[in-house]
Amino acid sequence: MLKNYFKIAIAVLKRRKFFTFISLFGISFTLTILIVLTAFVDNVTGANYPEMNRDRSLYINFLQQKNSKYGYTMNGPASYYYLDHYVNTLKTPEKVAISTLFAPVNAYVNNKKLVVNVKYTNEAWWDVLRFQFLEGKPYTQQQIDNSERSVVISEDLKKDYFGDIPNVVGKYIEVDNVQYRVAGVVKSVPVTMALSYADLYAPYTVSKGDYKSKSLNGMYSAIILAHSKADLPKIKQEYAGVVAKIKPDNKDFDQFSSHADNYVASFTRQMTGKTDSSGVNLVIMALSVFVLFFMLLPTLNLININISRIMERSSEIGVRKAFGASSKTLVWQFIVENMILTFFGMATGILLSFLILQVINNSNLIANIHLTINLTVLLYSLLACLVFGLLSGVYPAWRMSRLQVVTALKAQ
């Protein structure tokens, strides 16, 4: 039966080539954009270099102090003291990586200004994140304790500052009027990996900020690495117990809150400003609504084209009904035909998406990013294709099933 439907669908598509082209163009263009966006989101939220341990990591990106009477809040990153005193002392985690957010400073080489993004970290940073060292090694705990200006730089910064020399370990680099000794060079991280991206990584003890301040808020975030994924709920519970005992350090506030979340939730909670929930469901709902509205216009266009096709096939429908074909059979046939058209559009969309992703990867539009069409992206593409095919096929199929035999035959 499906083989016959496929043959009929191909014959119908060949009959009006212009309408077929318009339909395929609309489907493939819409799916291409969705696939490229899905590949980007998957790259940002997935466990990619160097954050390959995301499946057993929790993140603390911000703290919130609140005035319950007037409802105003103060949100911001944590201080080093807070993370070292309250998070680094948790018993369940394997390691706690502490770092600042990256911040741009200037460097000058051959009378040319370079913008260098600097991040300050603790020693555990290099154990929690899995950087690929091209030269040298990370700075040690002893170097951190001694406030040595020993740094790790990215491959991109090495090329921009030193040029094409084979080895730069032991050489000095001057950034923000401060000289540092290069301890290692790592493969560059795309800027989309906001928590791990930087051009230069340095010990937190050489930061110009006051890392010894005992205030709760500061400029640091933490990545908590569990021994296994099964330990994550226990870490959350342990951290919640610690947070419950902390009081605001500002007299204008009377409530304090902080959460250890997975990677996505750590950002969605911050985006939505909610402390009672992570906000993941709200963001997913918003994205789903956006996708549905984005697909609405091409779906309506395809519905109109499909209705036009039906009117052209009214005599065929009348004959088939006269010979006993049920409305259910006709509806099923038309939906299958429309799904076949949609899958042709999906195949074209995947091919176009692959070409566009290669252009993005090779153009260095987003430095060091590598977008791919993996299994996750394909599954979401298939889901979008099914939704698109059903939305654009059900109503025209229903209209076709309502045609009366006499009316349909008269149209001939």
Q: What pLDDT shows up at residue 70?
A: 83
The residues facing 227 across adjacent strands are none
Q: Please tell me the number of Cα atoms within 13 Å of 207 on its side-chain side.
A: 24
| Cβ-Cβ contacts under 8 Å for 273 (sequence gap 6 or more) | 73, 75
For the CA atoms of 323, 329, 331, 337, what is the dihedral angle to 10 degrees?
-100
pLDDT higher at 339 or 228: 228
Predicted confidence at residue 281, as pLDDT, reads: 66
Mean pLDDT of 194-221: 94
Instruction: Give the SS3 label for residue 361.
Output: helix
Only one residue has tokens 């080093």, namely 80
| DSSP-based helix, strand, coil % in the chain, nearest 5 | 50, 20, 30
Q: Look at 25 and 219; give whichever has higher pLDDT.
A: 219
Per-residue pLDDT reduced to its tens digit, 272-302: 665 555 566 666 677 667 766 766 666 666 6
Query: Is the pLDDT at 322 greater than 70, yes or no?
Result: no
d(CA 209, CA 122): 14
DSSP 113: E
Burial class (CB in 10 A: 0-12, 13-18, 19+), 290: exposed
Q: Read off the DSSP letter of residue 254.
A: -
Q: Is the pLDDT of residue 408 over 50?
A: no
Block residue for tokens 């990545």: 223
- pTM for this model (two decimals): 0.80
What are the domain boundaries of the chain?
A: 2-46+281-410, 63-257
Helices (H), 313-374: 314-322, 327-363
Cβ neighbours of 407 (radius 10 Å): 12
Q: Among the residues of 71-124, which ranges form H helices?
A: 80-82
The identity of residue 325, as a single letter, is A
Q: Has residue 10 got a pLDDT over 80?
A: no
Residue 6 scores a pLDDT above 90 = no
State how far the Cα of 203 lies from the Cα of 140, in Å rounded to an integer.
Answer: 9
- Min mean pLDDT across 112-126, 136-150, 229-243, 246-260 is at 246-260
Q: What is the mean pLDDT of residues 119-134?
A: 97
Tell me the pairing of strands 200-203 and 150-154: antiparallel
Average pLDDT over the chain reads: 84
Answer with the residue of higher pLDDT: 200 or 349: 200
Q: Over range 60-85, report the average pLDDT.
A: 90
pLDDT of residue 325: 61
**pLDDT score recorded for residue 342:** 77
58 by Cβ neighbours in 10 Å (0-12 / 13-18 / 19+) ranks as buried
Q: What is the mean pLDDT of residues 132-146?
A: 97
